[in-house]
Copies of this chain bind each other. A is one copy, B any other.
C-alpha cells in the first residue's frame, strides 16, 4: 500500500509546528521515539520524542553555527569531541578542516545513528566513512568523566533539549568536567537553546558557563524548524577567545562551502542578544 501523507507536529507552549509528508520510519529506541518524515519543502526531517531535530532543508542553519565559530577561531584543533550529534551534521562540518586528526562522536542512542545513516545520508554524507571519525555508543556524561585532563581541543555539545536522559548535559558539574578535559586554549561549543521558547534554560546555561569559564560568549541565529525559530550557541574557553576574525588557513574555502555561515554573519550573530535577555542578565548581575 503506498504511504499516505500525514501531519506530524511539535507542540510547544500553545503553539505547534507541523510538517506534512510520508512517514518513512516511526520506532521506539531504548531512549526515545524516532520519526523520519519526507516533506516536499524541508526534505527528510527527523523528530525525536516529539521535537524536530533536523531537516535536510535547514540543518545547515544549526550545524554551521555550532561548528565554525569554534573551529575557525583557534589554531590547535586536532582532537575533537562531539557529544550527541547522531545525525552526522556536526561531524561533517568539522571534517572540512584539514587540521582535525580525530573526532570522537559519543552518541547515547545507537538507533539515531542507524536511522540517520539510512534515511538522512545527505546530512552525514562522506563523514560516516572518514577514518578520522570514531563513533562511540555511550553516555556523554560518563565519557567526559573518564577522559583525562587537558585532552580535547574542542568539545561540541550537540544534544536535544533538556529531558530525563539529557538533563545532566546542562548541569554545572558536567560543564566543569568539560573544562577539566579541555586543553588550555580549547573551546567548549554548545547549543544553548532558544531565548524565546526556552528562556529560563537559556539564561541558566549562559550564567553557569560564565561562572565556570573565564570567557563565554553567545551567538543567536535562526533554525526555522525549532520552536520560535530563534536559537543560540555558546562558546566558552579558559582563556580570552578572539571570535571576530578567522584564524585558520581554510576559512575562505569553508565560507564558500557554507549556506548560512560566513565570518561577517558570525560577527553579526554575536551581537543579536534580544534586549530583554540583556536586561534580565544585567539586572541579575546588579543584585
Q: Point out residues on A near B: beta carbons under 8 Å.
A: 7, 9, 13-21, 39-42, 58, 61, 196-197, 220-225, 228-230, 255, 258-262, 264-265, 267-276, 278
Contacts of A13 in B (CB 8 A): 40-41
Q: Are A271 and B265 in contact (CB under 8 A)?
A: yes
Question: What CA separation (Å) do A221 and B224 show in the bound complex?
Answer: 12
Return A225 CB to nearest CB of chain B, in Å: 8
**Copies of chain A in the complex:** 2
Contacts of A268 in B (CB 8 A): 267-272
CA distance A265 to B16 in the complex (A): 28
Which residue from chain B places its CB closest to the CB of A19 in the assembled complex?
A: B15
CB distance from A71 to the nearest CB of B (A): 16
Pair B275/A271 contact, Cβ less than 8 Å: no
CB distance from A283 to the nearest CB of B (A): 12
Distance to closest chain B CB from A148 (angstroms): 38
CA distance A264 to B278 in the complex (A): 11
Please list 18 pairs of residues, one from A and one from B, whose beta carbons are closer than 8 Å in the complex, sorted by A's number.
Answer: A7-B16, A9-B16, A14-B19, A14-B40, A17-B18, A18-B18, A196-B224, A222-B222, A222-B230, A222-B274, A228-B229, A229-B229, A259-B276, A265-B271, A267-B268, A268-B269, A268-B271, A271-B271
Q: Write out the residue numbers on chain B whose beta carbons fall within 8 Å of the beta carbon of A17.
A: 15-18
Q: Are A278 and B259 touching (Cβ within 8 A)?
A: no
Kindly name the residue among A229, A259, A268, A278 whose own CB sees the greatest number of chain B CB atoms within 10 A.
Answer: A229
Query: Which partner residue on chain B sits nearest A61 by CB separation?
Result: B274
Given the interface pairs A39-B14, A228-B224, the reply to whether A273 lies near B265 with Cβ below 8 Å is yes
Set of chain B residues within 8 Å of A61, measured between Cβ atoms:
274
Interface centre among A223, A272, A276 (most CB of B within 10 A): A272
Minimum CB distance partner of A227 in chain B: B224
Residue of B nearest to A270 (CB): B268
Contacts of A16 in B (CB 8 A): 7, 9, 16-18, 20
* B-chain residues with CB within 8 Å of residue A41 when the two chains form the complex: 13-15
Q: A14-B39, A224-B229, A259-B275 are in contact. List 19 more A-B contacts (CB 8 A).
A: A14-B19, A14-B21, A15-B17, A15-B18, A15-B20, A15-B39, A16-B16, A16-B17, A16-B18, A58-B196, A222-B229, A222-B230, A260-B274, A260-B276, A261-B275, A265-B272, A265-B275, A268-B271, A269-B271
Tell whether, in the assembled complex, residue A259 and residue B272 are in contact, meaning their CB atoms are under 8 Å apart. Answer: no
- Smallest Cβ distance from A6 to chain B, in angstroms? 12
Question: Within the complex, what minimum Cβ distance (angstroms) separates A88 from chain B?
Answer: 21
CA distance A169 to B211 in the complex (A): 50
Complex CA–CA separation, A20 to B20 (angstroms): 19
